[in-house]
Structure 1
Amino acid sequence: MGLFFVLAAIMLYAVASRAFLGQPVNWALEMSQFVLSAYYLLGGAYAMQMGSHVRMDLIYGARTPRTRAMIDAFTILFVIFYLGVVIAGGLSSTEYALTYGQKNYTSWAPPMWPIKMVMTLGVFLVLLQALSNLCKDIALLRGTPIGQPSIDRNPAA
């Protein structure tokens, strides 16, 4: 949540600099994009942990917790595969940015490795949470739930 306040401060500074000083800053838009990317990707694992991501409730919501665990255990395998491919690409891209000192093609020209590293870390955290959810779903299917299952956040339902 702290990154949201950093984003707001960057945008406030950019507006104030342009309005009151007459001097626009060339780094504000790009920096706000970097901060928003980090906010989004680092928050992905938390959203998955809390079960607050979007689901197709039309089919999914009417099922029993065991059936939902089966659906989740099957579909999370595709998510894990996808995240593994994204991490491999992220590691390769981050290594390239570090090795060759890659900079963005703008007038500010910031180095790209910090945001690439943060993005790869964010995807890795989502992968860890996906593996955790898979373990919880398998445990629920075996009849020995671990903690609170990822598919049933509302036990009263």
Structure 2
Amino acid sequence: MPDDTSADRSLLARLHRGFIPIEDLANLLAAFAIMALMILGVLQIVLRTVFNTPIGGYIDLVELSMASMAFLGAAYTQRIGSHVRMELVVGSLRGRALWLLEAFGAAVAMFIIGVLIYYSYGHFMRAYTLGDTTIDAEYVTWPSKLLVPIAFSIWWIRLALQFIGAVRLFIYPHATPIGVVITKDAAEQAQDEIHEVMGDDVDFSNPEDES
């Protein structure tokens, strides 16, 4: 059984911590894309309604932004366990059975995302080679299509880390969890969200903090 005191210095732990900034950056870019689209939408409404001068190629810009908003945050969401999960089954399992199921789920997801990486990269190459553009404003589409295999690759790496982490816990059930999603009940999730908003100094045992 591995020494838990050295878990934070293991290769898996270093890869897990080292990959977090990449996921956070991708998620931040997705958030900026959403904010930019909201601002663009407001400008479109104001310019079209007040000045009768809509933004040229607005629909095309919306279409091109979909890839960044839909996929860049996928790895971050995978890391914090916010994707749709069948926790009715997972939440009832403990020990090796739980980590075996988690490893199986990660392996299946790795296969599916791997297939999507292959085909999405093919779509990007075709768009880049043919000089594909949008219909209206004729913006080039390959930068948007390139984001898809990049985002999926980041997601695949996160899944690989979770797969290795689950296999490790299947072999050593009492080891410190690294790189895996820990299932929490509703109360624990709510407490984590409060800590995230209000800070780590909140003491729930102190009535003054609750107010």
Q: Normalising by structure 2, what TM-score?
A: 0.67
Q: 1:35 aligns with which of 65, 68, 87?
A: 65
**Bigger Rg over Cα:** 2
1:67-106 alignment runs, 5 A limit = 67-104=97-134, 106=135
Q: How many residues align?
A: 155
Cα RMSD for the two superposed structures: 2.1
Deviation for aligned residue 1:29? 2.4
1:95 & 1:124 partners in 2: Cα distance? Answer: 16
1:146 & 1:71 partners in 2: Cα distance? Answer: 15
2:64 & 2:131 partners in 1: Cα distance? Answer: 17
Q: Deviations over 1:17-65 (max 9, x none)?
A: 1111112224222312322321220000000011111111222211115
Tell me whether 1:118 sits opposite 2:147 in the alignment: yes
Letter in 2 for 1:118: L
Deviation for aligned residue 1:4? 1.9
Unaligned runs of 5+ in 1: none
- State percent identity of aligned pairs: 19
| 1:65–1:151 contact (8 Å) kept in structure 2 | no
Tell me whether 1:13 sits opposite 2:43 in the alignment: yes
Unaligned runs of 5+ in 2: 1-30, 190-211
Instruction: Describe the SS at the equivalent of 1:29.
Output: helix
Structure 1 segments, 4+ long, off by >3 Å, are 153-157
Q: Which moved more, 1:33-42 or 1:112-121?
A: 33-42
1:108 & 1:68 partners in 2: Cα distance? Answer: 51
Q: Which moved more, 1:57-66 or 1:36-45?
A: 57-66
1:30 & 1:67 partners in 2: Cα distance? Answer: 48
1:71 & 1:17 partners in 2: Cα distance? Answer: 53
- Hey, what does 2:53 align to over in structure 1? 23
Q: Normalising by structure 1, what TM-score?
A: 0.88
